[in-house]
Amino acid sequence: MKPLASGALVLLFAAKSAAAQTSHLLPVRPVPAPPHVDAVTGDIWLCQQVATDLDESTLLGSALLGRVNGSFDESTSRIQFRRGGARLGEAIAAFAIEGDQGVIYVSDSTDGYTLLHESVHAVMSRLTPEEARREMARVLAADSAGRIDSDILDLARRSFTLSFTASANPELWGLVPMVLTSAALSDSSTAGTLARLVRATDTAAVHLEGNLSKGWGRSTIADAYDEAAMLHWRFAGIDRPTWWSWREERTFRLIGEVVAYDRARRCAARTN
């Protein structure tokens, strides 16, 4: 792991237990607080590290999970790290829910900033329904008020568009980004970037074919998000709320990109 100096791996091994032992000294809210608290010194050191194999990614990622979560507890210890290989495509790392397990897929060289980003996604997936609702309202309100940096919004929009596209029939992958861009550009309202994207996907998701095989009829992207919602709440260990439709799942994933990029960006800014 670079740029770790000699003996730093030992420190990283200790970071998992140290997070719990020192959490009362740090400005980090208890589990499962929304992960938009200020980045602190420990984040900075961890963000600067680069893991060069699966073992190092597991150590670094586990330490970052503990920072985002507020402690390294039973819920975070259940999140696995695996080699992503071809499934990552051009991505460096990715969080996924498989069955009732959370997995962070990593590449041969994974930096701390990227692992922090995926750790935020993992921890947010364990929020309660009310916490998730409040976080969606918070981020959408901040976007509407112009309080989110344009570069953060652009990064979040790009990442979300990629994941939305991946929920479509592969034959439509070249079309979906153009449909969303066209819809957003034709929206003449004064709504924020995220609100316009929500409106664009409201229409696209129910009309474009999804990547699921329903065994009958034609599935849509909305069906794919509905399936993702089922996995989400199974992983959280909470019964899916009756009010949580595919639309809430879509919006939650969209604002999750904003939260993850914002925390990673603030950590990076403190290292410069």
Map out the domains of the chain as residue ranges. 8-126, 130-269
Cα–Cα distance between 243 and 266 in angstroms, integer? 33
Omega prior to 129 cis, within 30 of 0: no
What pLDDT sits at residue 272? Answer: 56
Residues 45-101: pLDDT tens digits? 899 999 999 999 999 999 999 999 887 777 778 899 999 988 888 889 999 999 888
Nearest Cα neighbor of 46 from 119, 125, 127 is: 119
> Looking only at Cα atoms, what is the longest distance across the chain?
60
64-68, 214-218, 223-227, 242-246: which range is least confident on average? 214-218
Cα–Cα distance between 220 and 223 in angstroms, integer? 5
* Backbone φ and ψ of 205, nearest 5°: -65, -30
Tell me: pLDDT of 252 over 80. Answer: yes
- Contacts by residues 225-231 (CB-CB < 8 Å, ≥ 24 positions apart): 225/167, 225/249, 225/250, 228/97, 228/167, 228/253, 231/97, 231/98, 231/99
Residues 1-48: pLDDT tens digits? 555 433 343 334 333 433 333 333 334 334 344 444 444 456 788 999
* Backbone φ and ψ of 102, nearest 5°: -105, 135
pTM: 0.82
What pLDDT sits at residue 185? Answer: 78
